[in-house]
């Protein structure tokens, strides 16, 4: 095991991910942990992450320096390197020029950290401070044009520091450096995989839960599904999943959720079909935010009512991923955005949380889901908003409109899947701008029917998006099929706006 001490950089988790990719298990601990707590993990190596602070600031985060005396190899990255140097007797100062972005790194000496790395190699820099004096025992291991001390090494104590970020893709030989540190210097074994993650998570969930009962809100999304199956693996029927079906899911989706969890995984699932109730509540509601709030509040109310019926529930499973943790602000990372996850559960519920995916990125969760045997449809599901199809009917929701949208949406996704485009697209769906009726002619008869909008975007995080450039024949097939197969539609349009200025959803 490797311990990564987190000083609040956006990069701490990325380091963990790279270490896992090398086949080495690691855990992230906040910098406030004592040396005893860190060493109790029995780490083969310790990595000190980057961070936004300056080591010279009065309230700078520090690390318990006794870790340097334990004989365990330490690698400091960016802030981590500066901290090593300042704590062990060197000096850190703010140079006139900050270094940010690409830089050429030149090796000095022959540290095993850079074994097999080119003499000159591109690295990614992002720092205000620099090390000006190395502590006693340290030698220079590399420099860049702007930073004379870009890598330092105390080979005797096996303590290393790099000013650049080996964990980002912009440092192409970064993985070689990390591997050198993990395998050659620290003697890690490798061979760890997501399968091992399951064993570790199962053990820790069992310890956390004891004999209590656990509840989980299932939506059919990737994250909550993987979290639920993982927790079920740990504690079996102590877990009850509650699936609040608000009636705004896509065609066949509710059935799929029930089938997957009850039949395939044999889990305790309470399926609450509240579709009629939600439809009644939304009668006459056209304003998007009112739709969201109504659905969100009722969802929570329904879930809570169900939770109250189960005895001795102490824990709630949440499929929180690492990016969600960063976005909503962690103890150490600063807040980037507060996101609008309507359809989620409030933070102040009386349960303690079990968040077994907190340290993982989305693609790691997918890998974990595969290991757990979840079907590909669940694993590759596109993001779907909590309020579902309710915010894809522009205007009032009626059963007839919902039925039209659901069928049209199915065709959009079906064509995309058949054409092998599904994994190239972030989200693809149909919308029904219900205020529009237009004249058409079908079977020699005049029609006055709905228009369906097709929306498909590429994105990496949903914050910005580009509309997807479909080949014409794909749009053509969708258009024909929708008009032929969905009664009540006589016109299909494609949305060619990106975000910004639009948003992904129409409401």
110 binds ligand XMP (CB under 6 A): no
Please check whether residue 156 is in contact with residue 70, taking contact to mean a CB–CB distance below 8 angstroms.
no
Q: Which is nearer to ligand XMP, 94 or 340 (CB)?
A: 340
Stretch that binds ligand XMP, among 9-17, 86-94, 238-246, 496-504 (CB under 6 A): 496-504
287 binds ligand XMP (CB under 6 A): no
Kindly give, in sequence order, each residue whose CB lies less than 8 Å from that of residue 390, ignoring residues fewer than 6 positions away.
246, 248, 278, 282, 291, 295, 397
Please check whether residue 251 is in contact with residue 385, taking contact to mean a CB–CB distance below 8 angstroms.
no
385, 405, 412, 474: residue in contact with ligand XMP (rule CB under 6 A):
385
Strand order in the sheet with 213-217: 268-273, 239-245, 213-217, 313-317, 352-354
Q: Which is nearer to ligand XMP, 343 or 369 (CB)?
A: 343
Residue 83 Cβ, how far from ligand XMP at the closest point, in Å? 37
State yes or no: 86 annotated in a binding site: no
Kindly give, in sequence order, each residue whose CB lies less than 8 Å from that of residue 426, ignoring residues fewer than 6 positions away.
382, 383, 457, 458, 459, 460, 462, 465, 504
> Which residue of the set 22, 26, 143, 165 is catalytic?
165
Q: Which is nearer to ligand XMP, 77 or 342 (CB)?
A: 342
Would you give the binding string for ligand XMP spanning residues 447-486, x where CB under 6 A is met? ---------------x------------------------
Q: Which is nearer to ligand XMP, 403 or 495 (CB)?
A: 495
CA distance 488 to 463: 34
What single-letter DSSP state applies at residue 434?
Answer: T
Count Cβ atoms below 10 Å from residue 71 Cβ, excluding itself. 7
Count Cβ atoms below 10 Å from residue 98 Cβ, excluding itself. 13
Q: Which is nearer to ligand XMP, 188 or 295 (CB)?
A: 295
Kindly give, in sequence order, each residue whose CB lies less than 8 Å from that of residue 141, ignoring residues fewer than 6 positions away.
107, 108, 109, 111, 113, 114, 151, 152, 153, 160
> Which residue of the set 22, 26, 78, 483 is catalytic?
78
As a dihedral over the C-alpha atoms of residue 35, residue 41, residue 44, residue 46, rounded to 10 degrees, the angle is -40
Map the footprint of ligand XMP across residues 397-436, applying CB under 6 A.
427
Residue 479 Cβ, how far from ligand XMP at the closest point, in Å? 23
Kindly give, in sequence order, each residue whose CB lies less than 8 Å from that of residue 442, ignoring residues fewer than 6 positions away.
483, 490
State yes or no: 428 annotated in a binding site: no
209, 342, 432, 483: residue in contact with ligand XMP (rule CB under 6 A):
342
Residue 217 Cβ, how far from ligand XMP at the closest point, in Å? 12
Q: Which of 336, 455, 311 is nearest to 392 (CA)?
A: 455
**Beta pairing class for 45-48 and 74-77:** parallel
Q: Is 246 a catalytic residue?
A: no
- The size of the interface with ligand XMP (CB under 6 A), counted in residues, is 15
State yes or no: 219 annotated in a binding site: yes
91 binds ligand XMP (CB under 6 A): no
CA distance 20 to 13: 11
190, 340, 439, 480: residue in contact with ligand XMP (rule CB under 6 A):
340
Residue 250 Cβ, how far from ligand XMP at the closest point, in Å? 13
182, 386, 390, 431: residue in contact with ligand XMP (rule CB under 6 A):
386
Backbone angles phi, psi at 283, to 5 degrees: -55, 130
Q: Which is nearer to ligand XMP, 427 or 490 (CB)?
A: 427
Q: Which is nearer to ligand XMP, 93 or 297 (CB)?
A: 297
Residue 398 Cβ, how far from ligand XMP at the closest point, in Å? 20
Kindly give, in sequence order, each residue whose CB lies less than 8 Å from that of residue 488, ignoring residues fewer than 6 positions away.
400, 404, 449, 450
Q: DSSP characters for 298-334?
A: HHHHHHHHHHHHSTTEEEEE----HHHHHHT--SSSP
User: Can you read off the two tokens belonging to residue 180?
Assistant: 């050198």
Residue 181 Cβ, how far from ligand XMP at the closest point, in Å? 38
505 binds ligand XMP (CB under 6 A): yes
375 binds ligand XMP (CB under 6 A): no
State yes or no: 222 annotated in a binding site: yes
CA 191 to chain CA mean position, Å? 24
343, 356, 369, 453: residue in contact with ligand XMP (rule CB under 6 A):
343
CA distance 376 to 11: 30
State yes or no: 224 annotated in a binding site: yes
CA distance 171 to 177: 10
CA distance 171 to 123: 4
Q: Which is nearer to ligand XMP, 208 or 427 (CB)?
A: 427
50, 61, 76, 387: residue in contact with ligand XMP (rule CB under 6 A):
387
Q: Is 289 a catalytic residue?
A: no
Residue 494 Cβ, how far from ligand XMP at the closest point, in Å? 17
Residue 345 Cβ, how far from ligand XMP at the closest point, in Å? 12
CA distance 319 to 321: 6
Would you give the binding string for ligand XMP spanning residues 296-335, x where CB under 6 A is met? ----------------------------------------
341 binds ligand XMP (CB under 6 A): yes
Stretch that binds ligand XMP, among 135-143, 161-169, 341-349, 356-364 (CB under 6 A): 341-349
Please check whether residue 323 is in contact with residue 361, taking contact to mean a CB–CB distance below 8 angstroms.
yes
Q: Is 78 a catalytic residue?
A: yes
Residues forming the site for ligand XMP (CB under 6 A): 292, 340-343, 383, 385-387, 427, 462, 499, 503-505
Query: Which residues carry a binding-site annotation for ATP?
Result: 219-225
Catalytic residues: 78, 165, 167
């Amino acid at each position: 095991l490797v311990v990564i001490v987190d000083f609040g950089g956006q990069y701490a988790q990325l380091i963990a991910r790279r270490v896992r990719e090398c086949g080495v298990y690691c855990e992230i601990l906040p910098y406030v942990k004592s040396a005893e707590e860190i060493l109790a993990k029995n780490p083969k190596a310790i990595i000190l992450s980057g961070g936004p602070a300056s080591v010279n600031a009065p309230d700078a985060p520090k690390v318990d320096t006794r870790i340097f005396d334990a004989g365990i190899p330490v690698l400091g990255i960016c802030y981590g390197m500066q901290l090593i140097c300042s704590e062990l007797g060197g000096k850190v100062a703010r140079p006139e020029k900050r270094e940010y972005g690409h830089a050429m790194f030149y090796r000095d000496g022959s540290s095993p950290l850079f074994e097999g790395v080119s003499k000159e190699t591109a690295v990614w820099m992002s720092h205000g401070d620099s090390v000006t004096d190395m502590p006693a025992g340290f030698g220079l291991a590399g420099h860049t044009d702007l930073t004379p001390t870009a890598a330092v090494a105390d080979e005797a104590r096996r303590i290393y520091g790099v000013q650049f970020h080996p964990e980002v893709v912009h440092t192409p030989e970064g993985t070689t450096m990390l591997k050198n540190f993990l395998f050659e210097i620290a003697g890690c074994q490798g061979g760890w995989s997501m399968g091992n993650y399951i064993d570790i998570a199962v053990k820790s969930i069992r310890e956390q839960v004891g004999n209590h009962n656990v509840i989980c809100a299932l939506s059919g999304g990737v994250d909550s599904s993987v979290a639920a199956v993982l927790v079920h693996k740990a504690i079996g029927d102590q877990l009850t999943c509650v699936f609040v079906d608000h009636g705004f899911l896509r065609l066949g989706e509710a059935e799929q959720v029930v089938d997957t969890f009850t039949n395939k995984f044999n889990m305790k699932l309470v399926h609450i079909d509240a579709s009629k109730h939600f439809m009644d509540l939304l009668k006459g509601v056209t304003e998007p935010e009112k739709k969201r709030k109504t659905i969100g509040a009722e969802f929570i109310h329904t879930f809570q009512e169900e939770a109250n019926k189960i005895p001795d529930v102490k824990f709630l499973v949440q499929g929180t991923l690492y990016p969600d943790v960063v976005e909503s602000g962690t103890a150490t990372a600063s807040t980037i955005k507060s996101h609008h996850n309507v359809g989620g559960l409030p933070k102040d519920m009386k349960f303690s949380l079990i968040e077994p995916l907190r340290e993982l990125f989305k693609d790691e969760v997918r890998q974990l889901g595969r290991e757990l045997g979840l079907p590909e449809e669940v694993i590759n599901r596109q993001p779907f908003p909590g309020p579902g199809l309710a915010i894809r009917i522009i205007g009032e929701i009626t059963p007839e409109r919902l039925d039209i949208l659901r069928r049209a949406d199915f065709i959009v996704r079906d064509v995309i899947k058949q054409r092998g485009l599904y994994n190239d697209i972030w989200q693809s769906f149909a919308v029904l701008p219900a205020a529009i009726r237009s004249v058409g002619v079908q079977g020699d008869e005049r029609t006055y029917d709905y228009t369906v909008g097709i929306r498909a975007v590429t994105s990496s995080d949903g914050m910005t998006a580009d509309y997807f450039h479909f080949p014409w024949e794909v749009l053509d097939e969708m258009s024909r099929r929708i008009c032929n197969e969905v009664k009540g539609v006589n016109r299909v349009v494609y949305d060619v706006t990106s975000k910004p200025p639009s948003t992904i959803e129409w409401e």
